[in-house]
Amino acid sequence: MVKSIKHRLDIWKEEPIYWDSIATIDKRLAGSSVPRSLLELIKIRVSQINKCVYCIEYHSQDALHRGETPGRIFALSAWEESPFFSDSEKAALHVAEEVTHISAHGISDEAYEKLMNYFDTKQITDIIVCACLINFLNRIGISTKTVPA
């Protein structure tokens, strides 16, 4: 019987320069004109898709702390059918999902065009970078078996 390993290693402790780089990107996103609540929803939704329990917990708590409602977080996995999300949020979540499933077809023209209806190019940049960043962090968390404390 193979014994399951809990937490494998702390990448950020082993190579702090990686965390410094991530923190710089995250700080830039925090200063974005994209609403912070939307950035947190993107982080949660991408983490749900990737099944990164650490990031789901972390970003759900962060979103709640910043004033997000539990109902919207609970409904996030069904955002397309939910009346709790605006059209602009739905456009951003759609692109975040397509970034997460990048090998399927990339970001479709339809999804990108919808995003352009609500956001300028700098904001679109931030939305795509946010989705890429959380995908990267999910892969670190899952690879190292990082779980909430």
What is the distance between the alpha carbons of residues 21 and 117, in angstroms, rounded to a whole number? 31
What is the distance between the alpha carbons of residues 98 and 113, in angstroms, rounded to a whole number? 13
Query: Which DSSP symbol is given to 77?
Result: G
Check if the beta carbon of residue 44 is closer than 8 Å to that of residue 89.
no
**pTM of the model as a whole:** 0.91
- Can you give the pLDDT at residue 9? 86
Q: Which residue has the tokens 């650490």?
A: 54
What are the residue boundaries of the structural domains of the chain, listed by start? 27-143
Averaged pLDDT, groups of 10, the chain, 149 residues long: 68 88 95 96 98 94 96 97 97 98 93 97 98 96 82
Check if the beta carbon of residue 56 is closer than 8 Å to that of residue 146.
no
CATH number of this structure's domain 27-143: 1.20.1290.10
- Can you give the pLDDT at residue 85? 98
